[in-house]
Structure 1
Amino acid sequence: MQTVFKAALAYLVVTIVLRIIGRRTASQQAPMDMVVLFLFGGLSVSAVLGEDHSFFGAMSALFTVGMMHVAVSWLKIRFVWLERLLDGTPIVVLHDGRWTEQAMRRLRLQQADIRTAARQRGLDDMEQVKVAIVERDGTISIIEKD
Structure 2
Amino acid sequence: MDMAFYSGWESLLRTLIVGVLAYGVLVTFLRISGNRTLSKMNAFDLIVTVALGSTLATVLLSKDVALAEGALALGLLISLQFVITWLSARVSWVKRLVTGEPLMLLYRGKFLTASLRRARVTKDEVRSAVRSSGLASLEAAQAVVLETDGSLSVVKQEEGGTGSSLNGVRGPH
Q: How has the CA–CA distance of structure 1 residues 70 and 44 changed in structure 2, closer, same or farther, with 3 Å as cutoff?
A: same
Q: 2:147 aligns with which of 110, 122, 135?
A: 135
SS for the counterpart of 2:145 is strand
* Aligned partner letter, 1:60: L
Aligned length: 110
Q: Residues 19-60 of structure 1, C-alpha deviation per residue, up to 9 Å, x if partnerless?
A: 6xxxxx9xxxxxxxxxxx8699549976xxx87321111111
Q: How has the CA–CA distance of structure 1 residues 43 and 124 changed in structure 2, closer, same or farther, with 3 Å as cutoff?
A: farther
Measure how far apart 1:134 and its partner are. Answer: 1.3
Unaligned 5+ runs, structure 1: 1-17, 20-24, 26-36
SS for the counterpart of 1:132 is strand
- Aligned equivalents of 1:129, 1:144: Cα separation in 2: 5
Q: 2:118 aligns with which of 92, 106, 118?
A: 106
Unaligned 5+ runs, structure 2: 1-42, 160-173
Q: How has the CA–CA distance of structure 1 residues 121 and 92 changed in structure 2, closer, same or farther, with 3 Å as cutoff?
A: same
Query: TM-score normalized by structure 2?
Result: 0.54
Is the counterpart of residue 62 in structure 1 residue 49 in structure 2?
no
Q: 2:85 aligns with which of 73, 76, 82?
A: 73
- Aligned equivalents of 1:44, 1:109: Cα separation in 2: 34
Aligned to 2:95: 83
The more displaced of 80-89 and 133-142 is: 133-142
Q: Tell me the C-alpha RMSD between the 2 structures.
A: 2.9
Percent identical = 25
SS for the counterpart of 2:154 is strand
| 2:56/2:70 contact within 8 Å kept | no
Query: TM-score normalized by structure 1?
Result: 0.62
Is the counterpart of residue 121 in structure 1 residue 133 in structure 2?
yes
Q: Residues 82-123 of structure 1, C-alpha deviation per residue, up to 9 Å, x if partnerless?
A: 101111112111112221122112211111111111111111
| 2:55/2:70 contact within 8 Å kept | no
Measure how far apart 1:64 and its partner are. Answer: 0.5
Q: How has the CA–CA distance of structure 1 residues 101 and 40 changed in structure 2, closer, same or farther, with 3 Å as cutoff?
A: farther
- The residue correspondences of 1:14-33 to structure 2 (distance < 5 A) are 18=43
Q: Which has the larger radius of gyration?
A: 2
